[in-house]
Structures are given as structure tokens and as C-alpha cells.
Amino acid sequence: MESILTINNLTKKFGYLTAVKDLSFTIHKGNVYGILGPNGSGKSTTLGIVLNVVNKTEGNFHWFDGKVSTHNALKKVGAIIERPNFYPYMTAEQNLKLVCRIKGVDHSKIYEKLEVVGLLDRKNHKFSTYSLGMKQRLAIASALLNDPEILILDEPTNGLDPQGIHQIRQIIKDIAITGTTILLASHLLDEVEKVCTHVVVLRKGEKLYSGRVDEMISSHGFLELKAQQQDVLLNVLKSNATFGNISVENDLIKVILKEPMDASSFNKLMFENGIILSHLVKRKESLEEQFLKLTDHSNEQNAKLN
Amino acid sequence: MRNLIKTQFNFFGNQNTSIPMLRLLKLELQKLLLNRASKVLIFISFILPFFVIILSSLRIDFFGLFVLELGHYGLFNFPIVWHITTFFAAQFKFFFAIVVVSMIGNEYSNKTIKQNLIDGLSKKEFILSKFYTIVFFSAVATLLIFIICLCIGLFYSSINEWSLIFRDTEFLLAYFVKLVGFFSLCLFLGMLVKRSAFALAFLFMLFIVEWIVYGLMVWKIDETTATRIQNFFPLKSMWKLIDQPFQRIAISKMPNSQAIIYDFAVHWYEIAIVLGWTAIFIFLSYRLLKKRDL
């Protein structure tokens, strides 16, 4: 598979603070990637390094096949980080013209991209008169000007109202459908879950997980059960190798499946054992639960080390 | 005004040129000329030198006692007109200096410097685009002064021999180098402190520091050595490029007074010192940007 961005053992230190620690991952063409992590986990720093605005301390990265310089590679990249940065005294069209000049793109793309984000009728208004949502949409138009190989978005819905969030997400989905590779950094899990196929999870600058989202979400899901004969039920579950970790919250039993099993065959098994269930739900773990598990797990490890 | 900008852009061509220098220059000119404040300041800095023309035609009648008519003192004759005009015009450089520091300050306060780099401009290109703009404006200013001088000189002096007219035109070169050097210093200070107002304050502080150091040297060593060393300081070396013309005027009025003879010529080493500072300032600006996390 064609690689777009390769990061090897990247480290960034701000004085005593290590913002990014020995990070490695590769981004392949055609996928939608999410970088997930709580605030201060090194997402923006990592993006800053590959985008030529933050200097790395150690390690290396290269764009595409590694033969072009970073700033020339960035001409084939579209990126928005943090807040949209434009010249307040210029109109939307003038701002985009300037970006065209930097990227070496023809001006003819400007109207097309303004249309995509729904700002064509405001093209002659000064940037300073725009609302935050409009500014963010202009930033997306600007990032799309060169029909980029990869679109990088850092917290694109941060600070927007629900309507703005919805608009931005819809635009991202539309872009993803066209086959553009996307790298989305966010601390909002459902955002990543909704649009991403692959995910890199960071915590305190360290990589906890990288791979497909559906593989990260535990493979066979889990069951939520309720029954009158709770003790019998627990014994049955414990004696069967199909079932993994069992947890009991009040009268609700949560059991993780080690092997695939659908709800009806489970129900049949229970019936054969003489147990009548009053509640049976089969669920896949959400990214949020998985994420918390991952971060908790490393917390425990840290605690042990200490 | 808007049409003026349009024609200016058309002059460079609307399409992206393959010449990297023009691309960078166009980039910076768009940033400057669409900004009302810097547009006005640029306009002023180009217009003010024309006041030398008004000065030259000035005729003040002192209540019938005597008439002060600058043009009639031979101040605007060739070749001295080159010296006098460049000296006075150089005092107006402060207006464009404000533009230079604010063109860095604005990039930082709008965070557009970050966006420029993300969009694919290299740090080197960023500094170069500013430097090319400085050179471009200094060149335009020098061209304007050349035209003004030529007009005033031709009007006031009866000389029509080309070799005499173009004597002392090295003052034009000195004027150009002086502007480029001074604006490069402003660029560096802008990059250093990121805020326009603080950068100008730093410029003023540098001026004071240079004189304090000079004073200390006079006190500790002796005046000739101190002056010699001071001529290497950034601001003083720029000032030295075009010496004050007052003594020269006096000499031309009183040819016999040997006491006030001084060296007013533009020397190659004076130009070399300022060009050296220019290179240092541009290089340091680049180093600063390269080391900095934005």
C-alpha cells in the first residue's frame, strides 16, 4: 500500500516536559485515520512537527516516498490546526488567492472550493466579519484548494455550536467518500468513531494503540444479562470457556465473549441449563469504553512500576 | 487606489510565475497592499521625498528685510543636489520602517506565519519574501529620488554636461544600501520580539546603547579610536553612509576656510560594513525562525 506519511521514533521535548515520546506510525493512502487522546497528549505537537512548524527533538518522519522536502510535500497536503488563521483585513477570496500563490495552484479552484463549504455568497466579505463556524469552513476550503493527497484536521469542531459541528462533520464525510486520505486529531471519541477507519491512541505522548478501529473495539462484543437464578447463571458462565471476564453490577451481569456467539444460541444454551433470562442484550464495546480501558490499563501499569 | 493595486498586480502578471523571487515578492505585496494601514504608510513614505521639491522652491520673505530663497544658494546645483536630497530623503525612512516591523508583527499576532508554513512555504522562503520586499521598496524609493534629483538639478543648475550631472551619483547607491540595511535591522527586530511596538522600542534602545557604548569608549580610550569603532556599529554605520551636508554647503560658500574641511564622500568600506550588517540581520532572522516552535 502506498504510504503518505511515515513517522519513526519521533520525540519532542519542551524543556523537562516530553510532549511526544518515541512515536512511530505510518499513514497509508485511502484510509481515514484518527489520532485520539485527551488534551495534552501530544496530538497537536505531533501534527505540528510533521507540518513544519514545530522542531523535532529526535527521530524522523517523511512525507510520501521521502524524496521531496517537507515544505514541498506540504503543497500536496491540506491542513487545519487549532483555530483558522487568515488575514483579517482580506476577503475570503483574497485569502484563498494568497494560499493559491503559496501552494502554486491555479486561482480557478477558489470558487469551486468555496461552493463545497457553502461560502460562495460571502466571498467578498472580510475574514474579520466571519463567525467561528464560517472561519472553520473557510479553513477547510483553503485546505482543499490543491485537491490534497491527505487532509489533516486538528480538532475541527472545537468551539463550534451543534449546527456548526454537524456542518463540519458532513463536509468531512463527503470528502472521505471521494477517497481522500484524512487524518483527524480529536479528543471527542464519537467523532473519531463516526468517521475513522484507523486510529492511533496517544496518552502523555506515548502510543497506546494503532490499528483498525473495529479491531480495537473488542472482537466479539459482550452480553448484558439478568436472571432470577443469578448464582446458577454465574456458575454456568464460569464453567464455560466461551465466556471471559464476568462482572456484576447490582443485578446486571456483564460477560465478555471470547468466541463468537449470537444472542439466540446463547439464549438456547441458558434454556438447556434451566435458566430463564429476564434481560439479554448483546453489545459491541464503544470506542469510548475501549479507550478508557486502554488508558486505565496503562495507568495500572504505571502504578505497578511506581 | 483599488485600481492602482490591480494594475500593480497585473504588472507582475496574474499567473504564478516560474521565477521564485517574483512569486515571493508578489506574495508579500498582496499582504501589504491589501492592508489599509501599511498601504497608507507606504504611500506616505513615497510621497514625502517630493517635499524636497517644495523645499527647493521655498521663498520666504522676512518682512522685506531679506528674502530666503533656498534655490538661489546653489544648494540644488549638480553635483551637490545628489548629496543634499538623499540625506534629507533618508530621514523619511521611518515610515516604511513601521511597515516592516508591522509586517512581521501582524504575521505573529494573526498566526498567519504558522498557516503560511503549513500551506507549504518554507521558513527560508518566508524570510526571503520579506527581504525581497525590502529590496524592492528601497529600489523604488531610490528610483524616485533619482528622478526628483534630476528634475530639481536640471531646473536650478545651468550645467548640461552629462559627466558633471552624474558626478556624485554614488550617493544614490549609498541611499539604497542605507535603506536596505536599516529595514533589514527592523526585520530582525520584528522577528526577535514579534510585536511591532516593542520592535520600534528596541530600535530606539539600540540607538541609545550605541551612544552609551561610544561615551564609555571615549572615556576609557580616546575619541579617535572610539569614533573609529563606533563607525562599525549598525546604526552609526548606516548614518555614516551619507554624511551630513551642512559643512559641505558651508565649504562651498567659503572656499578658503580650511578648518571645516571634512570627508563627506561615500567610501566602499562604508557600504561594505552596512552590507555586512544586512547579511547578518537576514541570516539571524532566518536562524531565529528556524529554531522557533510556532
Quick: pLDDT tens for A189-245. Answer: 777 777 788 888 888 888 888 888 777 765 577 888 888 888 888 888 888 878 877
A17 touches chain B (CB under 8 A): no
Alpha helices in A132-229 (DSSP H): 132-144, 162-177, 189-195, 213-216
Q: Would you say residue A147 has pLDDT above 80?
A: yes
- Of all helices (H) and strands (E), which one includes residue A78? strand A77-80
Q: Domain spans of chain B? A: 17-291
Q: Contact B30/A98, CB-based, under 8 Å?
A: yes
At a CB cut-off of 8 Å and minimum separation 6, what does B50 contact?
B148
Mean confidence (pLDDT) of chain A: 85
Chains A, B: CB contacts under 8 A, how many?
Answer: 86
What is the SS3 assignment for A28? Answer: strand
Q: What is the pLDDT of residue A304?
A: 57
Rounded to an integer, what distance in angstroms lies between the CA atom of residue B83 and that of residue B168?
7
Q: CATH for A222-283? A: 3.30.70
Could you tell me the residue ranges of all domains in chain A? 3-216, 222-283
Helix or strand holding residue A34 (H, E): strand A32-36
Q: Picking from A14-28, A161-175, B180-194, which range would have the lowest pLDDT averaged per residue? A: A161-175
CA closest to A139 among chain B residues: B115
pLDDT at position B235: 92
- The pLDDT value recorded for residue B104 is 93
A255 touches chain B (CB under 8 A): no
Check if A101 contacts B (Cβ < 8 Å): yes
What is the Cα–Cα distance from B155 to B139, expressed in whole angstroms? 24
Q: If you average pLDDT over residues A70-86, what whole number do you get?
A: 88
A71/B293 CB distance under 8 A: no
Q: How far B139 CA lies from chain A's nearest CA (Å)? A: 24
Q: Which residues does residue A8 pair with via DSSP β-bridges, in sequence order?
A: A60
Cross-chain residue pair A53–B116, CB shorter than 8 Å: no
- For testing contact with chain B, the best of A77, A85, A93, A95 (most B CBs within 10 A): A85
Cα distance from A202 to chain B (closest Cα, Å)? 21
CATH fold group of domain A3-216: Rossmann fold (3.40.50)
DSSP A223-285: EEEEES-HHHHHHHHHH-TTEEEEEEETTEEEEEESS---HHHHHHHHHHTT--EEEEEEEPP
Closest approach of B143 to chain A, Cα-based (Å): 28
Chain A CB contacts of B35 below 8 Å? 87, 89
Contact criterion met (CB < 8 Å) for A90 and B291? no
Judge: B122–A75 Cβ closer than 8 Å, yes or no: no
Q: What mean pLDDT do residues A176-183 have?
A: 86
| A75, A88, A101 member nearest B27 (Cβ) | A101
CA distances to A12, A19, A20, A44, A59 from A16, rounded to whole Å, are 10, 9, 12, 18, 18
Rounded CA-CA distance A97/B27 in Å is: 10
Please indicate whether residue A166 or residue B160 has the higher confidence score (pLDDT).
Answer: A166
User: Residue B60 forms beta bridges with which residues?
Assistant: B68
Closest CB to A98 among B27, B292, B294: B27
List chain A residues with CB under 8 Å of B110.
Answer: 85-88
DSSP, collapsed to helix, strand or coil, labels residue B290 as: helix
Tell me the one-letter amino acid at A149: E
Q: Do B117 and A75 touch (CB under 8 A)?
A: no
Q: Does the distance separating the beta carbons of A51 and B293 come in below 8 Å?
A: no
Contacting residues for A290 by C-beta, under 8 A, at least 6 apart: A216, A217, A218
Q: How far apart are CA B175 and CA B145, in angstroms?
A: 9
Q: What is the mean pLDDT of each run of 10 residues along chain B (294 residues)?
A: 44 52 91 91 86 71 67 72 86 89 92 92 94 94 89 78 80 93 95 92 93 91 87 90 79 65 80 95 95 88
Which chain B residue has the Cα nearest residue A88?
Answer: B110
Residue B203, Cβ neighbours under 10 Å: how many?
18
Contacts of B217 (CB under 8 A, 6+ apart): B225, B226, B229, B230
Is B30–A85 a contact, with Cβ atoms under 8 angstroms apart?
A: no
User: For residues B135, B139, B141 and B144, what is the CA-based torsion angle, rounded to 10 degrees?
Assistant: -170
For chain A, the straight-line distance linking the first and the last C-alpha, in angstroms and rounded, comes to 41
Task: Identify the pLDDT of residue A65.
Answer: 84
User: How close does chain A come to B41, measured CA to CA in Å?
Assistant: 16
Cell of A136: 472553520
Report the C-alpha gap between B275 and B180 in whole angstroms: 8
How many Cα atoms sit within 13 Å of A219 on the Cβ side? 7
Q: How far is CA B35 from CA B10, B42, B157, B272, in A?
A: 18, 11, 42, 35
Shortest Cα–Cα distance, B16 to chain A (Å): 7
Question: What does the DSSP assignment read for B212-237?
Answer: HHHHHHHHHS-HHHHHHHHTTSHHHH
The verdict on a CB contact (< 8 Å) between A53 and B114 is yes
A30 φψ region: left (φ > 0), alpha (ψ -120 to 50), beta (else): left
pLDDT of residue B213: 93
Nearest CB partner across the interface for A85, out of B36, B112, B122: B112
